[in-house]
Amino acid sequence: MRLFVAVPAAEGFLEEASLAQSLLRTAGADVKWVNPECLHFTLHFLGEAELAGVPEVVSALDCVKSANPFVMRTAGLGFFPGSEKPEVVWLGAENTEPLAELRTLLAGRLAALGFEIDSRLFVPHLTLGRVKSPRNCAALAEKAGSLACSGAVMTVNSVVLFESVLKPDGPQYRRLGAAHLGDEF
């Protein structure tokens, strides 16, 4: 099973992402766009794991119960690694420090279960699409630069363990468990 821990995007973020994708499509760039229903903020990609280990991973999520829910707001579009040779088109957010704190809380628990923790700089984002070729990338960057975010708001109140099932038309995500922020008794 391919597993990852994430915060699913809420309705306002999904609407903003869908609108951005629609406008960016007009650039004619060679991008495989992500289904807005699949958008999420990845905290940890765990990779391949055995089904028998899933209950332990779900239990590890409980460490976030000590954190309080918080609000994020959409904050612009960007590219990884940059707009000159983009590979990923993303939508960013403001007030992501609490999200980074959740990631840190989870890291120790997941490492104790034997998962390798990515040590790269954490840049919270929703992946809108993956660039397949350089065709019309300049137009894509220009369109992205001209789009203003509406400042959609979402309350982060849970983290979810997902299984990613790769299909020819794109991945499908299945919820395997969740923990809610502020649920500590």
For residue range 69-80, list pLDDT tens digits in order: 999 999 999 999
From 73, 103, 109, 125, active-site residue:
125
Q: What superfamily in CATH does domain 2-180 come from?
A: Cyclic phosphodiesterase (3.90.1140.10)
What are the residue ranges spanned by the domains of the chain? Answer: 2-180
Q: Give the whole-angstrom CA distance, residue 146 versus residue 103.
A: 32
Q: Which residues contact 87 (CB under 8 A, 6 or more apart)?
A: 79, 80, 81, 130, 131
Calculate the average pLDDT of the chain: 95
Catalytic choice (5, 14, 31, 40): 40
Reported pTM: 0.94
Residue 184's closest CA among 86, 68, 103? 68
Evaluate whether 174 touches 163 at the Cβ level (below 8 Å): yes
pLDDT digits (tens, 9 = 90+) for 46-60: 999 999 899 999 999
pLDDT at residue 184 in the model: 65
Q: Is the pLDDT of residue 149 over 90?
A: no
Backbone angles phi, psi at 11, to 5 degrees: -50, -50
Q: Establish whether 125 is a catalytic residue.
A: yes
> Does residue 44 have an active-site annotation?
no
